[in-house]
Chains A and B, each alone.
Chain A
Amino acid sequence: MSKHTTAIFCEAHPEPPFWRVQFETLNLPRPGCFLLADFGGPLREVLFPAGLSAGGFSVLVPPGHPVQRLLPGETVDLLGPFGRGFQTEQVERLLLVAEAHLLPPLLPLLEAAPMVTLVLAAPTRALLPPARRFPPSVELHLITQDGSVGYAGTLETCHGADSPLLEAVQWADRICASCDSAFYPKLARIVRQQRLNPPANFAQALIQIAMPCGVGACEVCRVQTVNGERRACTDGPVFDVLDFGL
């Protein structure tokens, strides 16, 4: 019965383009793992921690999310933590790769290694979080589709000689990504091109899709990998990126 727990809603404040919501709980998920929260809808909501502390965790949710209807002190019914999270033990140079709207699950990793580089992509500058949000020790490389700041292009097209992504992949000894799953076969190709014989889990990719049950019962969250179909909720949601491309 250890996977059924509650959390106490503490506060919510805007952190554009999201709201940061703080919960107190003893059952903390590790980065990349998730909880299923009951906010009254027909399905539980998937919550990835965006911040972890001794007594609780925070999540970043879009405006209008049902969590904003909670009052401080209210309890939330949780299932979890579920899934296989990021493995970042004994890493010196950690590369994080994200699209801005999928960044929150990577935020707990910003200080997970002595040296951290974040490659962050968005359609335009206005959709990027301000640089002051990140710890000063994090090296930030921005990619915008309209070229309003940083490298002009997208993660998909970011493979020129001056690409910040290629250089960062060469530098890193671990990569954690949170992007659209359509990008992962491309990332797998880049990893294979830039690294000779990368070890298992050198590059890890988080899949964010609907996971109604969290335990592998509903079969809604199946993802196609080179090793066949896998369930995101129990086999992931963090996979070796090489599972997505030979």
Chain B
Amino acid sequence: MIELAPNHKFGLPIATPVMPAAGAFGYGDEYHDLVDYRCLGALVTHPISLHPRRAAHPPRIILRGETLLIHTGHPNPGLNAILRQFRELWARLGLPVILHVLAANPAEMVEVVDKLAGETAIHGIELGLDEHTSVEKALALLRSIRLNSDFPVIVRLPFSGVATLAQPLAEAGVDALTLTSPPRGVLPLPEASGDGSPPLMRGRLYGPALFPLLLHQLHTWIPRLPVPVIACGGISSTADARACLALGASAVQLDAVVWRHPDLLATIAKELAYDAGNTAL
């Protein structure tokens, strides 16, 4: 077992170091026809907010070479609806469920964790922070979870905020950090005409081009951080996962590549297990 929260009183043990990233895998059973869930270390849910969120206006995706620019607006029906719909499924899944939470402020975060009280099917919270999150706000969000719940807390850091947020959060007692959420980017819309400035789409970047950036972040920050680090961004093969683990990551999250190769989650988990001498998977 791999322990993602070694300093937490309950811990957050996972059987394999491979899991889907928030936003790539839905809420639970979307991939039941395509993925062997027994190979997953944990289920990380789609981002969930206290109140319902609507989708961003289309277009929501642009391809540029191997890179995807995506802006969905993290639509979701809100925490109450999600819990009603999925808590029984999560209890049956047989693997840790990590709720990826979006919260605008500490008060909202307190409401979220209040609603999660007694939810035995949830094993941890991954807090998603955006690029504009200050250190003070990040610490306040973490404190609002800590003071109001017993869940292990992972924070997914924004790509541009690792340098400012990672160490303060680690010192404040976060259980683990996910490095990183996809960086933001801007592209002109493909159907834009040549007159004037073209309309632009803003969003998050996905694709294998991000992998060297991820390795740079891991190489820079893992030696300085006293908490487990989960690697996320551009991982698209077992070799990529091995490179992250070799740099000290405790686990890896796969994002948009899952849509093209859902079976890659199980393939990587099995090959990493084989590396470790475990042929039971």
Residues of A that sit less than 8 Å from B by CB:
1-4, 38, 41-44, 79, 209-210, 212-220, 222, 229
Contact = CB atoms under 8 A, between A and B. Distances in A.
A41 B72 contact: no
Given A44-B259, A218-B72, A222-B55, A212 B31 contact: no
Contacts of B59: 210
Given A42-B68, A209-B58, A222-B55, A217 B259 contact: yes
B135 interface: no
A213 B30 CA distance: 10
Interface in B258-275: 258-263
Contact of B72 (A2, A42, A44, A220): A220
Given A43-B68, A215-B31, A4 B263 contact: yes
A2 to B, nearest CB: 6
A40 B55 CA distance: 29
B67 to A, nearest CB: 7
Contacts of A42: 63, 65-68, 207, 256, 260
Given A4-B34, A42-B207, A212 B26 contact: no
A218 B54 contact: no
B234 to A, nearest CB: 11
B33 A217 contact: no
23 contacts: A1-B33, A3-B33, A3-B34, A4-B263, A42-B63, A42-B66, A42-B68, A43-B256, A79-B262, A209-B58, A210-B59, A210-B60, A214-B259, A215-B30, A215-B34, A217-B30, A217-B46, A218-B23, A219-B75, A220-B61, A222-B55, A229-B54, A229-B75
Given A3-B34, A218-B23, A218-B256, 7 more contacts: A4-B263, A42-B256, A42-B260, A210-B60, A214-B259, A218-B70, A220-B60
Contacts of A215: 26, 30-31, 33-34
Nearest to B59: A210
A216 B31 CA distance: 9
Interface residues of B, number: 33
Chain A at the B interface: SS class: loop
Contacts of A222: 55, 60, 72, 75
Nearest to B208: A42
A212 B67 CA distance: 13
B23 to A, nearest CB: 7
B25 interface: yes
Interface of B: 23-26, 30-31, 33-34, 36, 46, 54-55, 58-61, 63, 65-68, 70, 72, 74-75, 207, 256, 258-263
Contacts of B260: 38, 42-44
B61 A217 contact: no
A222 B56 CA distance: 9
Given A42-B260, A43-B63, A219 B74 contact: yes
B10 to A, nearest CB: 28
A218 B260 CA distance: 11
A219 B23 CA distance: 8
A65 to B, nearest CB: 14
Nearest to B28: A217
A108 B55 CA distance: 32
Contacts of B72: 218-220, 222
Contact of B259 (A1, A4, A213, A229): A213
A38 B70 CA distance: 20
A206 B55 CA distance: 20
A217 B262 CA distance: 11
A212 B74 CA distance: 15
A213 B55 CA distance: 16
B54 A43 contact: no
